[in-house]
Amino acid sequence: MALGCPSSKGSWSWLAELLLLGPLLVLLVSGLGTSLGQNVYTNTWAVHIAGGPDEANRIASKHGFVNHGNVKWAEQQQVKSRKKRDIYTEPSDPKFTQQWYLYNANHRDLNAKGAWEMGFTGKGVVVSILDDGIEKNHPDLIANYDPDASYDVNDGDPDPQPRYTQLNDNRHGTRCAGEVAAMANNGICGVGVAYDAKIGGVRMLDGEVTDVVEAQSLSLNPQHIHIYSASWGPEDDGKTVDGPAKLAKEAFLRGVTEGRGGLGSIFVWASGNGGREKDSCNCDGYTNSIYTLSISSSTQNGNVPWYSEACSSTLATTYSSGNLNEKQIVTTDLRQKCTDTHTGTSASAPLAAGIIALALEANKNLTWRDMQHLVVRTSHPAHLLTNDWRTNGVGRKVSHSYGYGLLDASAIVALAKNWTNVGPQKKCVLSMAAEPSHLVITKTVDGCAGTDNNVSSLEHAQAQLTLSYNRRGNLAIYLTSPMGTRSTLLAPRPHDYSSEGFNDWAFMTTHSWDEDPRGDWTLEIENVAGASDYGETLLCSVPLPPKNALLPHQHKHHPHPNSSSQPPCHTPSPTFPPNTTQVPGLQKQSVSELCEQQNDDYKLARRACQILEMYCVLVIWGYCCFCIYQIRRVDQLFETYFFLLGFR
């Protein structure tokens, strides 16, 4: 018997590789690829040769099949269908093919399919949507609905069912819930990112929202709920500065210290929709908090959406709506319906919450800070377009528009599986002297070396400021780390005409994550109004300072101008003390010039000072006790604190 494989030229094509398994010889022969019927044949033959391995070796070493009389069996190998017996099958839901952001073979996506293929679908993880309620009987949510993760704070009962109106204006929470945990393979709508997670909802936005309401919502069942997702905040009008009050702050702190058995509740927050109003998400105390994971948006084509806000506290990005020609988000809708028109950063935060649920399934022992580390390390710029990508001090790309970039579900799950928990958080607090006339302040720090709070690897950096300023929207504030990473803590907000300034407001940046905080930190406060834009000139009576003409007067310690009489006026030229620094934009004037103005301006100045409680930063040193204040320049910078939070 002769066995062989004829080539197209009639010669015998021979062994490419061989695998010897006792007397079984597998011959990998080139030149044959036959298909008979439905069978697909390969170029591999299995040949049973009597005589054992030595005989098989001897025969295989020859250059042709020759009938040796001891070939007992031969069969050309054919391809067989075999499937992995894992739990993943691609969802069959009718709208899944429209969920371009979860899986798209020809486009960037959140790589959810990669996480699903690894077997992670959110099982055992509980997510609660803090919003206007959740339609618990929605056919695409009902199997995953968790009553222990739900409550109606507005009406004080356990049922979070939304209040139905003609305009369906309480659909927001139900839409967000579907993004996280809409069921898979049930023939309805699409799927959630974590389609096997449990989902609940807190009805808290359909009524008066108070500090108590927020605190109750943030504190609901923290040993049962793992992730809280919120797509709301203060007005995105470009002029509001607001955040959690006393009780809500305490709820955040208790959540991260006591929630999930001490691992910490995870709070996911939408970064805000005030882009058209030039708003800054650092003026939103929820997204600006170190306790929240702030999420921004990208359009389908990788552009910054028109509604997106830029700030240094944003950690990462998911997809959402964009221009009219770009697709939006598919999810559950009120009245047991389905929609493909969910929009805004409201749609981005729940996608992030779902991805975080996948990571928690992969590793139940992750702390709230571990999760932020994972997000920083696995997010990537991808195709996200903006001109503000920068490389920070440890070589990571970071942007005020996108944070560290697009979340990657597969990457975060893979890293989470074997993640080692970071050490306890350390907080280094640095006080800076009040220097009202210095708009560039540099502080050399050692990260609290030699103390229990020594920080050598940075997570969050905060600059807590108290300052008064006549037109807050003209302020820009920057913080530069010792490794050269420059964060925009506050961008100018043209609609913010407030004269309230900032009172103990903690501006936060994540852009120096993992950097060494030791060295020179520089805080810059800039007036973007232009040199000729002075506003009104106000004359205020102030006491003469004993040594230095530049003092950070506290309002309660500074007397109001005398309302009954004008201050004395003398004409000698003023003498300025040495080392006096003038606020940029302020004009020096002689006492005689001031006196010439006083008759016209004194009443206006006195009234303005009394009403606005604005006091002077430049004291004219001399016999005439006047100061001049340009209302569009920095008034007083009372206190500055740096908070460096990290570990090791």
Predicted pLDDT at 639: 54
Q: Match 């506003």 to its residue by tokens.
A: 535
- pLDDT tens digits along 246-296: 999 999 999 999 999 999 999 999 999 999 999 999 999 999 999 999 999
Predicted pLDDT at 553: 28
Predicted pLDDT at 278: 96
Which residues are known to be catalytic? 131, 172, 346
Predicted pLDDT at 610: 36
Stated as kind and residue range, the H or E segment containing 634 is strand 634-647
User: Hey, is 346 helix, strand or coil?
Assistant: helix
**Where does 126-417 sit in CATH, by number?**
3.40.50.200
How does residue 548 score in pLDDT terms, banded at 50, 70 and 90?
A: very low
Instruction: Between 89 and 297, name the one with better pLDDT.
Output: 297
Instruction: Between 524 and 6, name the one with better pLDDT.
Output: 524
Q: Give the separation between CA 133 and CA 100, rounded to whole angstroms.
A: 27
Q: Is the pLDDT of residue 112 over 50?
A: yes
pTM over 0.85: no
Instruction: Between 15 and 405, name the one with better pLDDT.
Output: 405
Predicted pLDDT at 429: 85
User: Hey, is 130 helix, strand or coil?
Assistant: strand
Instruction: Between 501 and 335, name the one with better pLDDT.
Output: 335
Among 19-23, 211-215, 288-292, the least confident range: 19-23
Contact 512, 461 (CB under 8 A): yes
Superfamily classification of domain 426-531+637-647: Galactose-binding domain-like (2.60.120.260)
Predicted pLDDT at 431: 74
Question: Strand pairing of 440-445 and 519-527?
Answer: antiparallel
Name the most confidently modeled range: 78-82, 100-104, 591-595.
Answer: 100-104
Task: Classify residue 559 by its DSSP letter.
Answer: P
The CB density around residue 190, as the number of other CB atoms within 10 Å, is 27
- pLDDT tens digits along 314-345: 999 999 999 999 999 999 999 999 999 999 99
Instruction: Between 634 and 180, name the one with better pLDDT.
Output: 180
Task: Classify residue 605 by its DSSP letter.
Answer: H
Predicted pLDDT at 133: 98
How does residue 491 score in pLDDT terms, banded at 50, 70 and 90?
A: very high
Map out the domains of the chain as residue ranges: 15-79, 126-417, 426-531+637-647, 537-629
176: nearest Cα among 57, 333, 321, 1: 333
Predicted pLDDT at 4: 43
Structure tokens at 111: 């790589």
Task: Classify residue 195 by its DSSP letter.
Answer: T
Q: Is the pLDDT of residue 614 over 60?
A: no
Q: Is the pLDDT of residue 590 over 80?
A: no
Q: Is the pLDDT of residue 115 over 50?
A: yes
Mean pLDDT over 409-436 rounds to 86
Which percentage of the chain shows pLDDT scores above 90?
A: 59
Predicted pLDDT at 144: 99
Predicted pLDDT at 85: 52
Beta-ladder partners of 630: 537
Question: What is the CA 220 to chain-centroid distance, rounded?
Answer: 23
- Half-sphere exposure of residue 507, counting CA atoms within 13 Å on the CB side? 26
Among 197-201, 413-417, 438-442, the least confident range: 438-442
How does residue 88 score in pLDDT terms, banded at 50, 70 and 90?
A: low
Predicted pLDDT at 466: 84
Mean pLDDT over 452-478 rounds to 89
Query: CA quadruple 454, 457, 460, 462: dihedral positive or negative?
Result: positive
Residues 6+ apart with CB under 8 A from 323: 299, 303, 306
Contact 262, 270 (CB under 8 A): no
CA geometry: angle 202, 205, 208, nearest 5 deg: 125
Q: Match 């970039």 to its residue by tokens.
A: 405
599-627 as b/e: b if 16+ CB within 10 A: eebbeebbebbeeeebbbbbbbbbebbbb
Q: Is the pLDDT of residue 376 over 60?
A: yes
Position 450, amino acid: G
Residues 6+ apart with CB under 8 A from 415: 374, 377, 378
Which percentage of the chain shows pLDDT scores above 70?
A: 70
Predicted pLDDT at 526: 87
* Mean model confidence pLDDT for the chain: 79
- pLDDT tens digits along 291-313: 999 999 999 999 999 999 999 99
Name the most confidently modeled range: 243-252, 457-466, 611-620.
Answer: 243-252
- pLDDT tens digits along 64-80: 554 445 666 677 777 87
Instruction: Between 54 and 313, name the one with better pLDDT.
Output: 313
Question: Strand pairing of 198-203 and 151-152?
Answer: parallel
Instruction: Between 103 and 22, name the one with better pLDDT.
Output: 103
Predicted pLDDT at 1: 39
Predicted pLDDT at 38: 61
Query: Would residue 164 be called left, alpha or beta, if left means φ above 0 and alpha means ψ between -120 and 50 degrees?
Result: beta
Sheet of 519-527, strand order: 440-445, 519-527, 475-480, 486-490
Among 86-100, 470-484, 526-540, the least confident range: 526-540
| Total count of residues recorded for the chain | 648
Q: Give the separation between CA 286 and CA 294, rounded to whole angstroms.
A: 8
531: nearest Cα among 586, 478, 486, 476: 586
Mean pLDDT over 231-251 rounds to 97
Q: Is the pLDDT of residue 366 over 60?
A: yes
Predicted pLDDT at 218: 99
Torsions phi, psi for 604 (to 5 deg): -65, -45
Residues 6+ apart with CB under 8 A from 336: 135, 137, 138, 139
The CB density around residue 90, as the number of other CB atoms within 10 Å, is 14
Q: Match 């600059």 to its residue by tokens.
A: 463
Instruction: Between 8 and 502, name the one with better pLDDT.
Output: 502
Residue 559 CA: distances (Å) to CA of 499, 525, 570: 19, 27, 21
Q: Is the pLDDT of residue 556 over 50?
A: no
Contact 621, 574 (CB under 8 A): yes
Predicted pLDDT at 269: 99
